[in-house]
Amino acid sequence: MTDVHGAELAVTVIGPDRTGIVADVAEALARLGANLTDSTMTRLRGHFAMTLICTAQASATEVEAALLPLSADGQLLVTVRDVGADESAHNGGLPYLLSVHGADRLGIVATVTRVVAEAGGNITDLSTRLVGPLYLLVAEVDLPEGVPGELTRRLAQVADELGVEVNLRPAGADVL
């Protein structure tokens, strides 16, 4: 395996889903010697979205230029940015799972995540789905010790205002 400990680059790609998007992007990066590290790639209502970090000797400009042909037909939107080295933002909190579901309306994510932020909670992963009239949010949150009780009360309050159900619970550690 080649040593590719260069600069860290953040790459985003989004466009209408078709076969081969991942292969096209990954090939272009591999040709440049850019090594994919963490990524999420998923389909969001017919759009395919890739967010990834890679380490590369090439600069952001060079990588963007190499990916340019992919966006030439105007279908895929590609961005490349230099990002700092991996400095984990882990705040030493305890892992919790937050589920929110109810009738869709404006501001569910905004209201709920603001309450989490005000409690010092750090969202590490979040997905939402809208299926018919049902809106669903599931988030993984790191919470400082002593916070969950008060946060649960506060979440119940805003859930009531929004007319949704909120459930905050410890993410069970998978210790064997």
Partner 1 sequence: MSIEGWDITALGAGRVLPVVTAPEPVLSRVGEAVDPTDPQVVALAADLVATMAVSPGCVGLAAPQVGVSVQLFAVNVTDHPKTATLHGAFVLANAVIVEASRWRPGREGCMSVPDLTGDVKRAGRIVVTGELPGSGRKVTITTDAFEARALQHEIDHCNGLLFLDKVNGAHAIYQRKVYL
The rounded Cα 98 to chain-centroid distance in angstroms is 15
Backbone angles phi, psi at 150, to 5 degrees: -65, -40
Which residue's CB is nearer to partner 1, number 63 or number 148? 148
Residues 145 to 164 in contact with partner 1, rule: CB under 8 A: 164
Residue for token digits 């040593």?
3
Which residue's CB is nearer to partner 1, number 45 or number 85? 45
Q: Are 150 and 156 in contact (CB under 8 A)?
A: no
Dist CA 146 CA 132 (whole Å): 37
Query: Which of 162, 174, 157 minimizes the C-alpha distance to 110?
Result: 162
Number of residues that make up the chain? 176
From candidates 6, 24, 51, 101, binder to partner 1 by CB under 8 A: 101
Provide the minimum distance between the beta carbon of 97 and partner 1 in the complex, in angstroms, as a whole number. 7
Q: What is the 3-state secondary structure (H, E, C) of 145-175?
A: CCCHHHHHHHHHHHHHHHCEEEEEEECCCCC
By CB under 8 A, residue 97 contacts partner 1: yes
Provide the minimum distance between the beta carbon of 102 and partner 1 in the complex, in angstroms, as a whole number. 5
Per-residue binder mask for partner 1 (CB under 8 A), 109-148, x = binder: ----------------xxx-x-xxxxxx-xxx--------
Provide the minimum distance between the beta carbon of 78 and partner 1 in the complex, in angstroms, as a whole number. 24
Which amino acid is present at 69? P
Start-end of H helices in the chain: 21-31, 60-71, 108-118, 148-162
By CB under 8 A, residue 103 contacts partner 1: yes
Provide the minimum distance between the beta carbon of 168 and partner 1 in the complex, in angstroms, as a whole number. 10
Which residue's CB is nearer to partner 1, number 18 or number 129? 129
By CB under 8 A, residue 99 contacts partner 1: yes
Task: Give the interface with partner 1 as residue ranges (CB under 8 A).
Answer: 97, 99, 101-103, 125-127, 129, 131-136, 138-140, 164-165, 167, 169, 171-172
